[in-house]
Amino acid sequence: MRLLITNDDGINAPGIQALTRAASAWVAADPANRSAFVVAPMTNQSGMSSAVGDVFSHPQVRYERRVIEGAENIPAFALDAAPALCTIVGAIGYLGERPTMVLSGINAGANVGRSVLHSGTVGAILTGAQLGLSGLAVSVQWDEAITHYETAAKIAIEVLDQFYDAPERTLLNLNVPNLGPAELKGVRRGRISRAGIIKPSGDEATHPTLEASGELTLRFGAATPQLGDVSDEMSDEDGALVVAGYASLTPLSGVHEATDPGLDDLVRQSLDAIERHLDQHR
C-alpha cells in the first residue's frame, strides 16, 4: 500500500504532522509493502471542498520540498494549491510513484453533518476516488487550549490495514472527540447528521432592507471546529457521537451517476422536452 498524505489546514499544521509521524512508524514496520509521501497545501485551504482553482489560467503549480520532523523517511512536498489539486498532482504521478490510497487530515475541527460537503479534508478523498483511489479522511474536535491530534492519529493508523481487502474507491470519514486515548469511549458507525456550518440569519421575519453594498455577518451552526449544540441529533449521528465521547466512522460515496429507477421518467421527459424544442428550430 502506498499512501498519499494530504490535508486542508496546510503542511505546517499540527494535524498533518501528527498523522505523518504515525504513518512513518506504520511504514517502518513493513517497508517492503508500505510506503507514503506527503503532498499538502502550503497554506490553510480549509473549506475548499473539491475545488482545484483556475488551473487553465495558472497551469504552473509552485512546490517546495519539506521535511516533517519525526517522519524523515516520508518525502514531503508543499504545493501552492488546494487539497483536491494536491491530490490530483500526487495521484497521477507528477511527484513519483502513484499511490493506492489517500490519507487526509488530521483536520483541526470535526467534519460532520452538512460540513462534509464543504470540507477540503473530505474533498481530497472524494477527488482521489474519481481517480480510482480509496481514502480515509481524519478530523478531530478542536479546542483552543489543547487538541489531541495523537489520539486521532492512532485510531486512523488502526483503520489503514482494513483497506487492504476493501473494494476499490472505499471512502471513510473518521471524526474523533478531543480526548486522550484513555478517555475515549469507543468507536461507532456514524450517520451524517443535519448539522451545518452556517445558521440562518435570524432576520427572516423582518426581511431587512439591504443597501447596494455592505457586509453580511454569518452565524455559525453546530458543525464548527468545537461542535455546538447537537441536542436535535439522533444518538447514532456523527456530531452526537463525537460530543458523547465516541469516534465516528462513516462510509461515504464518491461522485457517480445516479441510478435510482425513480429518476428514469424525469430524465425521459426532459429529453423529450429538449427534442421538441430542437425540432422547432430545425
CATH number of the domain that 163 lies in? 3.40.1210.10
The pLDDT of residue 144 is 85
pLDDT, greater one: 223 or 126: 126
The three-state secondary structure class of 19 is helix
Report the domain count for the chain.
1
- Which of 64-68, 113-117, 165-169 is most confident? 64-68
The three-state secondary structure class of 59 is coil
The three-state secondary structure class of 89 is helix
pLDDT range class, residue 256, cuts 50, 70, 90: confident
The single-letter code of the amino acid at 25 is A
Q: What is the pTM of this model?
A: 0.90
The pLDDT of residue 223 is 67
Residue 183 has pLDDT above 90, yes or no: yes
Q: Which domain holds residue 126?
A: 2-192+227-252
pLDDT range class, residue 207, cuts 50, 70, 90: low
Whole-angstrom Cα Rg for the chain: 21
What stretches of 178-280 show up as alpha helix (H) in DSSP?
A: 238-243, 264-279
CA distance linking residue 70 with residue 13, whole number of Å = 14
CB 26 within 8 A of CB 73: no
pLDDT, greater one: 133 or 203: 133
Assigned domain for 178 exists:
yes
Assigned domain for 206 exists:
no
CA distance linking residue 15 with residue 181, whole number of Å = 16
DSSP state letter for 99: P
Assigned domain for 268 exists:
no
Handedness of CA 155, 176, 239, 135 (dihedral sign): negative
Assigned domain for 212 exists:
no
All 3 cell numbers of residue 231?
A: 441536542
Average pLDDT, the chain: 92
pLDDT, greater one: 282 or 43: 43
The pLDDT of residue 210 is 78
- Which of 124-133, 141-150, 257-266 is most confident? 124-133
The pLDDT of residue 196 is 74
CA distance linking residue 165 with residue 20, whole number of Å = 23
DSSP state letter for 163: G
CB 152 within 8 A of CB 176: yes
The pLDDT of residue 206 is 62
Q: Which of 3-7, 99-103, 214-218 has the lowest mean pLDDT?
A: 214-218
Q: What are phi and psi of 209, to 5 degrees?
A: -75, 130
Place of cell 453533518: 113
Q: Which residues pair with 248 in a beta bridge?
A: 175, 188
CA distance linking residue 247 with residue 140, whole number of Å = 9
CB 74 within 8 A of CB 23: yes
Contacts of 151 (CB under 8 A, 6+ apart): 140, 176, 179, 180, 181, 184
pLDDT, greater one: 144 or 61: 61
Residue 205 has pLDDT above 60, yes or no: no
Assigned domain for 65 exists:
yes
Q: Which of 27-31, 67-71, 116-120, 212-216 has the lowest mean pLDDT?
A: 212-216
Assigned domain for 36 exists:
yes
CA distance linking residue 190 with residue 192, whole number of Å = 7
Mean pLDDT score, 210-237: 79
The single-letter code of the amino acid at 43 is T
For the stretch 53-105, pLDDT in tens is 899 998 999 999 999 999 999 999 999 999 999 999 999 999 989 999 999 99
pLDDT range class, residue 152, cuts 50, 70, 90: very high
Assigned domain for 82 exists:
yes
The pLDDT of residue 258 is 86
Q: Which of 144-148, 201-205, 219-223 has the lowest mean pLDDT?
A: 201-205
All 3 cell numbers of residue 49?
A: 471542498
Assigned domain for 68 exists:
yes
Q: Quick one: what percent of the chain has pLDDT higher than 90?
A: 77
